[in-house]
Amino acid sequence: MPRQTKEEIDEEIVEHAAALFAQHGFKDTSVQRIADAAGYSKTGLLHRFPNKEALWGAATGTCAAAMREVAETAAALPDGPARDRAVIEQLVDLALSSPGLASLALSFVGRATEPGEQDQLEGIARPVMTAFGVQPGTTDVGRVVRVIAAAGALAVATVALSRDQHPFDQLRSGSIRDHLIDAIYDALGHPR
């Protein structure tokens, strides 16, 4: 097995940090907890990231960049079902490849946060909402609710399906991608 590059190691650590920040918030996530989850000593982790703030910055920065990319791709498409499906496909692919980052990116829908956290998460949430064509100040409350419900459903599914010991082992085999996409698409209220 080839050795991991520095970038791959950092990405792995950020993935674990993002998952823990999504689950516990910044305040209740310790550097030791992140080190344990990533399989590194605290000293080794602090050699790569000097403090918890640096880990938070890397996790939220990576999430924000991923969500901006989703929004930029969506901007090329007209509002409507095809655009929604394209956005969902990108979010599901992120959730399946990087469940920690996806959980943090979508945690704006379900976690009470500290004031500083909320600002960072809003910077991640805005591109998600924009990707779905929801602009600040929109008066279409139904659309806002459906988009938040869809994001929440994906966030919950991401956490549930990324657990090591899943009660539905058959979900580990075969592709669940299409089923996730359909479920999230259905939450937006589009007919299939």
Could you count the other beta carbons within 10 Å of the beta carbon of residue 51? Answer: 10
pLDDT score of 114: 63
Contact 124, 91 (CB under 8 A): no
Domains detected in the chain? 6-187 (1.10.357.10)
| Confidence check: pLDDT of 71 > 80 | yes
H or E element at residue 18: helix 6-24
Secondary structure of 101-112 in HEC code, one letter for each residue: HHHHHHHHHCCC
The whole-angstrom separation of Cα 130 and Cα 118 is 18
Tell me the pLDDT tens digit for each residue of 164-181. 555 555 554 457 888 889
pLDDT score of 25: 86
Rounded to a whole number of angstroms, the CA Rg of the chain reads 17
The whole-angstrom separation of Cα 150 and Cα 17 is 24
For the chain, give the mean pLDDT.
86
